[in-house]
Structure 1
Amino acid sequence: MEYFGLFFLAVIVEGVITYINQFFVKGVLKWEMVFSILLGVFVTVAYGVDMLAMVGMKTSVPLVGSILTGILVSRGSNYVFDLVKTLTSGRGGMKTSK
């Protein structure tokens, strides 16, 4: 389970860095991006969704897991679906073709 948590953290950090790059380095502030972050964080906090807790990583700071999950969710459904698909296919082991 620790590997899944580490993978989630890496994906979330990559997402945050991408957003920071868009906001500050390139000087481009798109309202769609801001709205998706705010909506993603609002929904995950409101429903108590914490993907890090789901993979066994608990935080001592309340809401941090939900906020980070909101950032991950704000990246879009295709992004999250691909992430979940990758994680679930890894749990079953490697499949060999014949």
Structure 2
Amino acid sequence: MNMIVLAIILAITVEGVVEIGKSIGKAVLGASYKTAATQVVALVFSCLLCLAAGADVYGTLGVHFAVPQLGMVLTGVLASRGSNYLSDFIKRLQSVSGTATVK
């Protein structure tokens, strides 16, 4: 994989993870503890589910990490935000990497 494409994919990933962290942090600081707890539970459950299923969006796009489970955990982090968020995220990654549609 081209290093420029890899760097862009990783930058998009960092942006997504930071946005999730900001969302949880904002809920905690705003004393919306139910919202924060719901988001954390969704995050943990989603990561565990992706690990159990071997779901790895990054591997599908040709990005392989030194720690094999990291792609599955990151997929779980992104999936915890919901299907629309993950779908938009995958489209952004695909447009950068030039891969075919994931089904």
- What TM-score do you get using the length of structure 1 for normalisation? 0.69
SS of equivalent residue, structure 1 residue 49: coil
CA pair 77-50 structure 1, distance change in 2 beyond 3 A: same
CA pair 34-56 structure 1, distance change in 2 beyond 3 A: same
In 2, Cα distance between equivalents of 1:44 and 1:82: 18
Aligned to 2:68: 62
Q: Matches of residues 18-33 of structure 1 in structure 2 within 5 Å?
A: 18-24=19-25, 27-28=29-30, 29=33, 30-33=36-39
CA pair 60-84 structure 1, distance change in 2 beyond 3 A: closer
Name the count of aligned residue pairs: 90
Deviation at residue 33 of structure 1 after TM alignment: 0.7
- The one-letter code of the counterpart of 1:27 is L
Instruction: Give structure 1 stretches of 5+ with no counterpart.
Output: 93-98
RMSD (CA atoms): 2.6
In 1, Cα distance between equivalents of 2:10 and 2:79: 13
Instruction: Give structure 2 stretches of 5+ with no counterpart.
Output: none
**Which entry has the higher C-alpha Rg, 1 or 2?**
1
